[in-house]
């Protein structure tokens, strides 16, 4: 092996590195986190005041913030499945449009993160280009949320 040219040693090292990477990829598929893809029943959908705001919310928010998640193919492949599962769990915990009766106080937080451009997050919109909110869509969504009650499914004005 001492007589081998340097390039040959590099090729051998790369082949072994590739084998190890493939083996690790196969092994991490056995980690059970991320396997569960559940969509619990919709308890009470958010009372969107119009079809446009509902469509914008469904396109940009519902994948993580509802019980109507459309699980993409990569959500079944680790390590992406771990990230998707974590994001959906966190999203549903923060605000779940499918359980609007329990959304007390979360409406104002949603308005703030949309206004600040924090939602939808950039790692999501890089993969889901259609989920990015234009300024006009953000304005429509904020206006709709302002007319919706913060829980109990009630419509209402601004709580301020």
Q: What confidence tens digit (pLDDT) does each residue in 101-137 have?
A: 877 788 899 999 999 999 998 888 888 888 899 999 9
Within this chain, do residues 21 and 75 fall inside the same structural domain, yes or no?
no
Q: Give the number of residues written for the chain.
A: 160
Average pLDDT, integer, range 17-46: 90
Is residue 112 in some structural domain?
Answer: yes
1 pLDDT exceeds 80? no
Q: Could you tell me if residue 154 is inside a domain?
A: no
**What was the pLDDT predicted at 127?**
87
Q: Say whether both 66 and 121 belong to one domain.
A: yes
Question: What would the pLDDT profile of 36-59 be if each residue is shown by its tens digit?
Answer: 888 999 989 999 999 999 999 999
- Same domain? For 5 and 58 the reply is no
- Note the pLDDT of residue 4: 62
Position 31 scores a pLDDT of: 85
Quick one: how far is CA 122 from the chain centroid?
10
pTM given for the model:
0.78
For residue 22, what are the domain limits?
Answer: 1-30
The answer to whether position 63 is within a domain reads yes
The answer to whether 87 and 93 are in contact (CB under 8 A) is no
pLDDT in tens, 64-111: 999 999 999 999 999 999 999 999 999 999 999 999 887 778 889 999
Which residues 6+ apart lie within 8 Å of 87 measured at CB? Answer: 64, 124
Domain count for the chain, please give it.
2
Same structural domain for residues 23 and 57?
Answer: no
């Amino acid at each position: 092996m001492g007589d081998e040219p340097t390039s040959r040693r590099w090729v051998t090292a790369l082949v072994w590195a590739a084998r190890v990477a493939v083996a690790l990829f196969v092994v991490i598929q056995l980690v059970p986190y991320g396997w569960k893809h559940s969509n619990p029943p919709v308890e009470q959908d958010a009372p969107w005041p119009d079809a446009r705001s509902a469509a914008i919310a469904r396109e940009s928010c519902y994948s993580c913030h509802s019980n109507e998640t459309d699980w993409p193919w990569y959500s079944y492949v680790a390590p992406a499945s771990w990230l998707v599962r974590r994001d959906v769990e966190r999203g549903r915990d923060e605000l779940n449009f499918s359980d609007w009766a329990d959304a007390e106080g979360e409406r104002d937080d949603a308005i703030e993160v949309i206004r600040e451009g924090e939602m939808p997050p950039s790692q999501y919109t890089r993969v889901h280009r259609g989920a990015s909110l234009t300024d006009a869509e953000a304005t429509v969504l904020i206006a709709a949320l302002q007319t919706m009650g913060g829980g109990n499914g009630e419509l209402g004005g601004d709580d301020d």
